[in-house]
A = this chain, B = another copy of it.
């Protein structure tokens, strides 16, 4: 037997073909028998591949009909230790991140509240867009206490990653202390970045992350494209 399972490479092939547009949402895949013939394997091996693709929400099967490409939004689990890109990788997609802005300015009321600062204090603000497979999924704004992390902007610029940047300034681990969620309508600017229609539904999450000593280290607001994402809250 080869080192990589056959069913994994079959799933990978099919994923690539779907990503390349050979199959579109709603399309029917070839039958299990046909796929087995094409890949030169047993039908059960194809089924194992399709089973995994169904688990990750890529396809769904209808007995008697066939296997169909899902138009279903990607799921994004949130919990105590949410790391956006790690989660997307787990879902088998390719995460990308575009930096829109990194700046340092005075905190506004809400930011000061959330980070336990006064409004005289400065904060670093990091804004960007997260995408998967070329489709923008989320617009985010992360706010950090500037006094505590003077070198953070440089680290953000270099890594693009909040987790990596915080690690580089001494915050090895952090946890989400709370998340608030609500539904909103996309503003023109948000719609532009997320490539959705103005007025389309978006899911806004507001969260505070704290370090091991429970000091707030990040205040984050994320706007998800409502039709491309759903959040999963599950026990860990």
Listed in ascending order, the chain A residues whose CB lies under 8 Å from chain B are: 55, 57, 72-80, 82, 87, 175-185, 199-203, 224, 226-227, 229-236
Contacts and interface: CB of A to CB of B under 8 A. Distances in A.
Given A72-B236, A80-B78, A201 B176 contact: no
A14 to B, nearest CB: 18
The complex is assembled from copies of this chain, and their number is 2
A184 to B, nearest CB: 5
Given A78-B80, A78-B236, A236-B78, A231 B182 contact: yes
Contacts of A73: 182
A80 B176 CA distance: 16
B72 A178 contact: no
Nearest to A79: B233
Contacts of A229: 182
12 contacts: A73-B182, A78-B79, A82-B233, A179-B233, A180-B230, A180-B231, A181-B181, A182-B227, A182-B230, A183-B201, A183-B202, A183-B224
A74 B235 contact: yes
Nearest to A202: B183
Contact of A235 (B87, B175, B234): B175
A185 B201 contact: yes
B199 A183 contact: no
Contacts of A176: 235
A183 B234 CA distance: 18
Given A178-B235, A181-B231, A182-B226, 16 more contacts: A55-B55, A72-B236, A74-B235, A75-B180, A78-B79, A79-B234, A87-B182, A177-B235, A178-B232, A178-B234, A183-B183, A183-B184, A185-B201, A199-B199, A201-B202, A201-B226
A178 B146 CA distance: 37
Contacts of A55: 55
A177 B55 CA distance: 17
A236 B71 CA distance: 10
B181 A234 contact: no
A74 B229 CA distance: 24
